[in-house]
Amino acid sequence: MPEDVDLIVIGSGQGGKPLAEFYARAGRHVVLFERGRVGGTCTNYGCTPSKAFLASAHNAGRARLAEPLGIHASVRVDQRAVMERVRRVRDLWHDGAEKRVADAKIDLIRATGAFTDVRTVAGGGREVRAPRVVIDTGQDPALPPIRGLAGTPYLTNATWFDQETLAPRTIVLGGGYVGLELGQGAQRLGSAVTIVQTGSRLLEHEEADATAVLEAAFRVDGVALELNARAESVRYDAGVFALTLASGKILEGEALLVATGRTPATADLTAERSGIELTPRGFVRVDEYLQTTCPGVYALGDVANQPAFTHVSWEDFRRLRSTFDGTPRRRDDRVLSYTTFTEPQLARTGLTLDEARAKGIDASARTIALEDVARGTEWNLETGFYRLVVGPDGKILGATLIGYEAGEIIHTLAFAIERGATWRDLDDFVGIHPTFGEGLPSLARLFESEAT
């Protein structure tokens, strides 16, 4: 017979862990299954180590690009020290997650959890049953069907940060945000990087003029871009990968990073035993309250087929907690914001102009170049632009910012959208001179005149 407990959480990711912690601290018996490192992808293989890696990379890159400011720096990168620091930062957050789980007295089972029956999960020699089960199993790296790839020592985000030093040459497969962040980072830290992208441009789902800015910046850094390129086969011989493209071109490198997408971690769940439906791509099917097709079983974060960001999973936790405590909260009434932490950063909130028009909204947009923002010129950080999208009533619907630390600046606009602000509200707001933030009221003011 399974043990009866109050709550089961499968996966200690960005939403599951705080949910388990909240109810365990409230005195409930919470069982948490984790097959890997506590803290999930973000802490161990994603946001935390990648941003620590980029902190070193972008400082090196900025030093090299400081010549127009009269600074002629000769940069020497100690890759071993960089990678050791990355792992120290990662482990600090991982250890913190472990401590929180222990302090909250969560019943942690370090094993893969799989459904054996309705709301019943087994793993690590135990079988437990609860009135509520939450699936937070996230995603794993997806491997493309490239001849010869399996069996070679390719890297993914799960192994990248374990490198002691970087390879002299790195081939990056995939021009999405993981490939771009790690690719630009590696180039700035001394590896010669080639990014292979099947589409005609990087980050294909973003606006073309924004990705053009990024591509130009990557070329200034020395990153080689192979666009419209399909990898057909790979060989690994004497420590060197040889990647053959459909064009016949062969790329060589001592490291190959596979960053071609992610796939939901549901293969081991035997979800059907609890009547839980998956989508054709293997995500857990949920309704607007994150409930699966099995009453009492919920899913949150990446595995629920949502935008794959830590703040989405974490916000799911808050909504689910509210639902569990008697005030149901939908998952689809929030504004999505995110940033690609390249340099310059590409930050987005809400809708693009095309997305708004596709929804039938008579939207319009204005764009200001960073060379028209005093801070940009003064600090020689003029690369990029800010774009604001508004509806027919003037309400702010979305923004795209590409520029230095754009991910910080965009919060003002995300908040403005959440609060239903109009471009006139933004125009009325007095920014601090000379900051990048001051560019936002200047951008809003452009709505006073017709679009040109």
Q: Is 35 in the site for ligand FAD (CB under 6 A)?
A: yes
State which of residues 24, 47, 231, 347 lies at the interface with ligand FAD (CB under 6 A): 47
CA distance 70 to 42: 38
State which residue has the least CB distance to ligand FAD.
138
350 contacts ligand FAD (rule: CB under 6 A)? no
CA–CA separation, 448 and 284 (whole Å): 46
Mark 278-307 with x for binding to ligand FAD (rule: CB under 6 A) and - for no binding: -----------------------xxx----
CA angle 369-199-235, nearest 5°? 130
* Of 276, 14, 228, residue with least CA distance to 137: 14
Residue 136 binding ligand FAD, by CB under 6 A: yes
Minimum CB distance to ligand FAD, residue 227 (Å): 22
List binders of ligand FAD among 195-224 (CB under 6 A). none
Q: Which of 178, 286, 297, 365 binds ligand FAD (CB under 6 A)?
A: 178
CA nearest to 313, candidates 39, 70, 2, 97: 39
- The smaller minimum CB distance to ligand FAD, of residues 109 and 443, is found at 109
> Whole-number minimum distance, CB 77 to ligand FAD, in Å?
20
Name the burial class of residue 259, with classes exposed (0-12), middle (13-18) and buried (19+) by CB atoms within 10 angstroms of its CB.
buried
Total binding residues for ligand FAD by CB under 6 A? Answer: 38
Shorter beta-carbon distance to ligand FAD: residue 157 or 364: 157
Smallest separation (angstroms) from ligand FAD to the CB of 190: 20
Measured between its terminal Cα atoms, the distance across the chain in Å is 71
Number of H helices, E strands in the chain: 13, 23
d(CA 34, CA 112) in angstroms, rounded, equals: 6
339/346 Cα distance (integer angstroms): 6
Does 269 engage in binding with ligand FAD (CB under 6 A)?
A: yes
* Assigned token pair, 169: 């040459």
**Which positions touch ligand FAD (CB under 6 A)?**
10-16, 33-36, 40-42, 45-47, 50, 112-113, 136-139, 157, 178, 265, 268-269, 301-303, 308-311, 313, 341
